[in-house]
Structure 1
Amino acid sequence: MTSDVPQIDLTDPGVSRDPFTAYGRARELAPIARVGAPGFGPMWVVTRHADIRTMLADPRFEIRTDSFMRPDVPEDCLPYMRTMSEMNGTEHLRLRRLAAPAFTARRAADFAPRIASIVEALLDDLPGHGPVDLMTRFARPLPMDVICELVGIPAADRLRWREYGATVVTNVGPAFAAAIPAIIEGAKAAVARRRAEPADDLISDLIQAQEENGDRLSDTELVTLIWHLVMAGQTPTNLIANAVEALLTHPGQLAALRADPGLMPRAVEELIRWCGPALLTIPRYAREDVELCGTPIAKGEAVTASVAAAHRDPRAYTDPDRFDITRPAGQPGHLGFAHGPHFCIGSSLARVQTEVALAALLRRYPGLALAEPAPRAPDPGTWRLSSLTVTL
């Protein structure tokens, strides 16, 4: 049944080194392929932009606990491990509606001055001379500081939460599992503090909603939602690092952005398409026997989508293999934040954060340049750098 569809081996170094070419070849051969590696898959992978949008919005494909690598955690942590990301239907919608008001485009825009303050403080702490790794000194701590400010994690606890966040963006499974008890305790402590001292943040808003109608959000759900939103808020780390590297290796595009800072919102959209961190979506599982892209998918089979292939799909984009920050806005939107019911709730915050971070870097450092080629981490699911050493 699968011999006539392209096969992608995730252990092939060429796939990790250049996933855009590897998945692009499969895309031009067929709209669906097979992907796998020891301990991962095999599963179906959709390769074309329009088909991916259709699959991600199709309720016959659902996210399950099996969609995630489940860390081995102590038994008392298990009640807090089922997050919104692995829920579907009305259960997922209920929690999403409670969190959504903190992540609207307007709220993100209103939050921009507070993001700018965090950005400037991190840049102030950079050394005045010599090479500096922007990954460890800027791109990694920034999203954690921002999401902690938005959610309501106390400032005194944020260095510890930065360490937790680093385990997420580097995909260190055992380290993340070891940190889970402390992360959950940190979320419990933050909730307890805001019960006693309400403030202008998400935790206070959720506590108020809980107290007004106690059956809407249990204490366990509240703690789970808080730690999950904070950890999920680390997405901009790899986006910002990839964006800086892309601009510094495309001097014409960098010059155009410096000449016209008003291009920044469009530039960020193009950067997400060109070098966004998502390579594969979270797997979905067929709830019934389904036909997808002309291929029968059996009930229970896993299906993912190649964002890398979609973002270079000539059916969706004109001249897709060219990085162009002036790309017309009317072209199909990227899939960097997924699509459908599980579209990233923090997408507006990630966009604003990236815009503010890049604008500050370009304004403060007119001579910003790579000190050495930025090495990529061999990660089949995430397009990310190991480091980003620059001269300021």
Structure 2
Amino acid sequence: MTDVRPAETGVPEIDLTDPEVLRDPAAVYGRARERSPLARLLAPGMRPMWVLTRHEGARAMLGDPRFRLSADSFTRPAGIPEHCLAHMRTMQEMEGPEHTRLRGLVSPAFTARRTAEFRPRIEPIVDNLLDELPDHAEDGSVDLLAHFARPLPIGVICELVGIPEPDRPRWREYGAAVAAGWGQAFADAIPGIMEGAEAAVVHRRAEPGDDLISDLIRAQADDGDRLGDTELVTFVWHLVLAGQTPTNLIANAVDTLLRHPDQLAALREDPGLMPQAVEELTRWCGPQLLTIPRHPREDVEMGGVLIREGEPVTAAIVSANRDPRVFADPDRFDIGRAPGAPGHLGYAHGPHFCLGASLARAQTEIALTALLRRLPDLALAGASHGAGHIPDPGTWRLAALPVTL
């Protein structure tokens, strides 16, 4: 297997098309990490990319203002209607004062306190999806990804944003298309999301309610600055795009717990362990393998290697989160692991630390708590052992999660 090869520079090279990279990225990046704090990522048709393999370097790069996100860091699916493009540039693509301004206006709506207040509105969404699960059973099993983990985040977003109840089944279809990744269904969903967001903004400007749009309309900086309508619609799109993380985190978490019966039993015995269990699950099987690429504004030395201005750089979250320099016995899944500084990088770090981290944690905690309480005999179905993960070098995600209830 040639997943990690010595380059002339002495820096390991990782071929993103190698089946071993796709099958077991933690092992491949782990071997590279123990050889060097940096590696090179290679793939046909892709510009070679630097990758930080260790926790210290990854965290440093993500917090270093010399490394910036830009339009070059992102790709756009083909076929997006022209009138939607004005809403496609989200806060993720912004840096400096532009990013600081927008984040300052929206971040008060995503504090831990606001998330705690919102938790009672997530619980009935979870319960309704669990109520529907038996209706989706075929031959004694049901796909928990398709019928629980995938519709949950978009249901939460609809509740958060204030999408009218009659429109929510259509938004569930939008969420499924976005969660599935780039493709024609993804592009086809974008106009509907934009139109629904525009309608929600117009409605809430006329009739404020108890929802995120109303909060953001009321949000005002000390200098009187407010969000415009285009910014509000763009932010809803950002929520839909970035808010799919719990889909894969919840599916990965259930799969992991069912494959570690001792840890599952400990969690069932003491539900109070759930918050730290979710942190350990995020560290162990979080869906994001690599961060969005950054580009240095100038030549920067990292880990003894000179990275030239403009060369793409990413951080291997999958490797940093199992770095033995930070985590004791890092390849062991342990829900009793005591949280400590500096912690995992499952939600990145620095100015672009995930704004919705508290909300993602709450969704995952509520979903897993309800699953374990209501389905004491939950088990992997026989077919699940062959379902496997989608071969995606950037995201650790299941193709399906068949379970018996």
Task: State if a TM-score over 0.5 links the two structures.
Answer: yes
* Identical aligned residues as a percent: 68
Is 1:112 matched with 2:119?
Answer: yes
Output the amino acid matched with 2:164. Answer: P
CA contact (8 A) 1:239 1:272 kept: yes
Distance 1:217 1:108 in 2: 21
Distance 1:196 1:89 in 2: 33
User: Alpha-carbon deviation of 1:210?
Assistant: 6.7
CA contact (8 A) 1:376 1:386 kept: yes
User: Mean alpha-carbon deviation: is it higher for 171-180 or for 42-51?
Assistant: 171-180
Q: Per-residue CA shift, 1:63-93, capped at 9, x if unaligned?
A: 0111111223222222211110100111111
CA contact (8 A) 1:103 1:348 kept: yes
Distance of aligned partners of 1:101 and 1:135 in 2 relative to their CA distance in 1, 3 Å threshold: same
CA contact (8 A) 2:290 2:317 kept: yes
**What's 2:141 paired with?**
131
Is 1:61 matched with 2:67?
Answer: yes
Equivalent of residue 25 in structure 1, options 24, 31, 53? 31
> SS state of the match for residue 40, structure 1?
coil
User: Mean alpha-carbon deviation: is it higher for 363-372 or for 170-179?
Assistant: 170-179
Distance 2:309 2:368 in 1: 45
**What's 1:171 paired with?**
181
Which ranges in structure 1 are unaligned for 5 or more consecutive residues? none
Distance 1:133 1:254 in 2: 20
> SS state of the match for residue 48, structure 2?
strand
Number of matched residues? 392
Is 1:388 matched with 2:401?
Answer: yes
User: Alpha-carbon deviation of 1:2?
Assistant: 5.9
Output the amino acid matched with 1:96. Answer: R
**What's 2:91 paired with?**
84
User: Mean alpha-carbon deviation: is it higher for 206-215 or for 88-97?
Assistant: 206-215
Distance 2:224 2:205 in 1: 14
Is 1:298 matched with 2:304?
Answer: no
CA contact (8 A) 2:106 2:219 kept: no
Distance 2:88 2:45 in 1: 21
Is 1:9 matched with 2:23?
Answer: no
> SS state of the match for residue 390, structure 1?
strand
Distance of aligned partners of 1:249 and 1:61 in 2 relative to their CA distance in 1, 3 Å threshold: same
**What's 2:291 paired with?**
281
Q: Per-residue CA shift, 1:261-293, capped at 9, x if unaligned?
A: 110001000000000001000000011111111
Distance 2:22 2:390 in 1: 8
CA contact (8 A) 2:217 2:226 kept: no
**What's 1:38 paired with?**
44
Distance of aligned partners of 1:105 and 1:212 in 2 relative to their CA distance in 1, 3 Å threshold: closer
Distance of aligned partners of 1:16 and 1:272 in 2 relative to their CA distance in 1, 3 Å threshold: same
Output the amino acid matched with 1:52. Answer: A
CA contact (8 A) 1:84 1:95 kept: yes
CA contact (8 A) 1:46 1:305 kept: yes
Give the TM-score, by structure 2 length. Answer: 0.93
Distance 2:377 2:246 in 1: 23
Runs of 4 or more off by more than 3 Å in structure 1? 209-215
**What's 2:345 paired with?**
335
> SS state of the match for residue 127, structure 1?
helix
Matches within 5 A, 1:83-232: 83-127=90-134, 130-209=140-219, 215-232=225-242
**What's 1:321 paired with?**
331
CA contact (8 A) 1:134 1:241 kept: yes
CA contact (8 A) 1:317 1:332 kept: no
> SS state of the match for residue 295, structure 2?
strand
Q: Per-residue CA shift, 1:322-363, capped at 9, x if unaligned?
A: 000000122531100000000000000111110110010000
Which ranges in structure 2 are unaligned for 5 or more consecutive residues? 1-6
User: Alpha-carbon deviation of 1:212?
Assistant: 11
Q: Per-residue CA shift, 1:206-262, capped at 9, x if unaligned?
A: 222379987532221121112212331111000000000000000000000001111
Distance 1:281 1:74 in 2: 28
Output the amino acid matched with 2:132. Answer: D
**What's 1:70 paired with?**
76
Distance 1:211 1:8 in 2: 46
